[in-house]
Structure 1
Amino acid sequence: MKDVTAMHVNLPRALFALRASIAIFFAVWAIEKFVKPETTAAIWSKFYLVDGLPHEMSYLIGAIQLLVVILFALGLFKTWTYGFLLTIHALGTLSTWQVLITPYEGGNHLFVAAIPVLGALAALFLMRREDTWLSLG
């Protein structure tokens, strides 16, 4: 019975740790869209085949992403916010498949870090109802 009680107490805290760390991860990317919109344009050109992304689009994408990250961090609208971040991260990770299958070519194997983040997002989405610690939702 002690193990069940410990899990009942620790699971929401563990899920909060995932939520908080993932929120920080996404906040960095969202803020970058305001601070360095040219980087966003370069990423979209290389991985999403969208050339010439205007700075205004970078700001709009960043604003939407930042709003979702804030709602996510607060544990609000879990199905939508957790699902949105899972979906955009999955699409972003899949768009880098060529780098992922050849991590030692080109000198940038940091793209592989997207895979455990994707796993963490999937786990958090699946257990969103248990993510109650410091959650407003």
Structure 2
Amino acid sequence: MWGLCVAMGLSTIGFAGERFSSSVFINTTTRAFSGNLGTARNGSDFVSYLWCASTGSGVGWCHAKDASGVTASCVTTDAGMLETIRSLNSDSNLQVLYDNTGLCTYIYVATGSHFETKGP
């Protein structure tokens, strides 16, 4: 029993402090962009960005630019997507899909200790 407890404790320690960096990724063919806001902010390329905004009148936007200068963006008035945009913070992971007219079709936000945090 003691051996099992020790093994379980060590396996937990092995996963503690896990961190994921995810640079801005844009695929204009599949009309998708994603990344960690912290990784984009902390990047050394001084080109990449990733952000979303919303208004009180029910419109939201998401924008991305990768290290090579490729950009993508979309707009939404969908209440669920606006709520998701409003949950975004500087340490979040963002994933966005959009259609050929520039409308957002999917917005996913995840925030956790394993995502790279924004530096100064």
TM-score interval for Structure 1 and Structure 2 normalised by the shorter chain: under 0.3
The alignment's TM-score, normalised by the length of structure 1, stands at: 0.25
Structure with larger RCO (C-alpha < 8 A, sep 6+): 1
- Structure index of larger Rg: 2
The alignment's TM-score, normalised by the length of structure 2, stands at: 0.27
